[in-house]
Chains A and B, each alone.
Chain A
């Protein structure tokens, strides 16, 4: 009897009917008015949105997949697209004749696996330098660095005035994006052989790791992990450090949280490379349709709505995210915004991360390895060899699947 009750109770509280879209971070909260507007317009079924915290989003998405409970429209971090492609969870969009010609090519390419378009780029991002102009000026520099060497020289000079980690770079060791960005600048690939093996001991990657490590060793960057770092905005606002490598959402955040007198003291610039401005990691989020959705046409309408030029511009204004649709930049006033302009520059230099489903794990491990090296727990060579072993090991199944199927999973 009680078993029946439990099952009955379970049925009572099952997932609702009604369409769902999940989105991460602040976008998950900011999307609500746009969903409401769409619901207002549409004659079809209505959508409900749920916001996922970034720190738990990936696992929640995978768990939802395992539970057959993915939402109808899924916002996917661009590095997750290949993973969900391997899971065969996404509906291919080629057949629906969507025009992607006005979007950033790199972003569309990122969402295309094995020739199938599996998501529409929703917003793009990349990582570059945010810096305090006044600190740099105090150290005698008028322009942001364009090469690694210039950057080191600037950091050294800043270190002399500030002393003890002051005025340097804010680079928490648990974030892999800056590290990966610098690695992408190298001639060597992070993952070689169609992303089935690690390339961590190649010269280019080794040099990149050594460069990043030297920033910590020389005291230009304090060894922190994000969770217990001091409040980024309060600190940057006080000019306690000069550089931070972060993404476009922080343009709005900085404008919101920094004190008024600090607003004209900061600027953005593309990442320095070895010999000139360098590549960065292409990030962002694409919108995919759940292959198991029973309302694919409604889902299609929603993602087309969210990628049309005017909605993109409005959304960009609300979130300070960069539109994936190029004409929306002008509409959102980003063409004239100097701080956003660096991103346009960087986006044309950006590169996608390796398209292997296991990439996220490897990227995480890169940060973990760097933290160990920087805290003196391991030497750089041992760490790089360890990363190669880790990657080779993790990618074993992928090598096996590729040899089975005979074609590339990309």
Chain B
């Protein structure tokens, strides 16, 4: 009798959110898959009877679209260069915060986390000005140091690095906090033992620190990587995908196909390609962890 009651209660408790998830999340995802097998475009928008089913054609056409590869390439560039840099910065600062007897730790922690909290669109608008070739803060600073200012957002060679620079500034705080918590869990005795064995700072880093935080390190790396794959707001606000589409990311490409040109068939196909790649990344994650990403 009791057991049955518990059964019902459990389902009642999860029913609302489960219903919402089914209807507003899983349902649309499934529909998106279906859509990717059609040639939905503005003619279909006018009259749904103009829709044709084309199977995997969207996917075939996608791989033949140069702009798709350009966007993919840009996204890979961001992911490959941005992720290690981002992690290095976060780890370095986490280690600096972890040092014993360091003064004002609480203060630094808050200050360093501030960029992460700011609204992305607002921060991108601010950085758009900072990266301004003529009057931006960054180039002014460079000129003070005797270097020449660079055309950050106007030169296709510097536009992606500029986005990476901004992205690191924006998000290093999050990884830093997680890595800090992980670092704090490493017992002091391990360090003392290593020192007694004659290890220097570098060896302590390699053999005590890194192994100690490996699960968290791995996790934040994957989250950061996945984040770079989904980059959209930064180029949308700062460069509109330019110059010469050097900052067109996969998400931006998908947005353009979908909401600018209304080629929903192509856009859905792109979304699924993105999904497959993220799936691939997640396969690399350690099992049995409840990964949380905000």
Contact = CB atoms under 8 A, between A and B. Distances in A.
User: In the complex, is A directly touching B at CB under 8 Å?
Assistant: yes
B47 interface: yes
Contacts of A372: 244
Contacts, number: 59
Contacts of A225: 154, 242-243
A161 interface: no
A3 B21 CA distance: 12
Interface residues of B, number: 28
Q: How large is the interface on A (under 10, 10 to 19, 20 to 34, 35 or more residues)?
A: 20 to 34
B13 interface: no
Contacts of B282: none
A353 B286 CA distance: 57
Contacts of A95: none
Interface stretch (B25-33, B104-112, B254-262): B254-262
Interface string A88-107: 11000000000000000000
B245 A368 contact: yes
B134 interface: yes
A371 B42 contact: no
Given A62-B45, A227-B242, A228-B132, 18 more contacts: A59-B260, A62-B259, A62-B260, A62-B262, A83-B42, A86-B43, A87-B42, A87-B45, A87-B46, A174-B242, A225-B242, A227-B153, A227-B240, A228-B133, A228-B151, A357-B42, A375-B156, A386-B66
Nearest to B133: A228
A58 interface: yes
User: A-side binding surface: helix, strand, loop or mixed?
Assistant: helix
B13 to A, nearest CB: 14
B98 interface: no
B18 interface: no
B134 A375 contact: no
A105 B49 CA distance: 36
Given A62-B42, A65-B45, A228-B132, A371 B244 contact: yes
B240 A55 contact: yes
B134 A230 contact: yes
B171 to A, nearest CB: 24
A368 B244 contact: yes
Contacts of B260: 58-59, 62
Contact of B16 (A2, A59, A377): A2
A385 B41 CA distance: 25
Interface of A: 2-3, 55, 58-59, 62-63, 65-66, 83, 86-89, 174, 224-225, 227-228, 230, 357, 361, 368, 371-372, 375, 377, 386, 397, 401
Interface in B260-278: 260-262
B234 interface: no
B50 interface: yes
A107 B108 CA distance: 64
Contacts of B262: 62, 66
A224 B154 contact: yes
A285 B50 CA distance: 29
A50 to B, nearest CB: 19
A114 to B, nearest CB: 14
Contacts of B47: 88
A227 B244 CA distance: 12
Most buried by B among A83, A228, A230, A401: A228
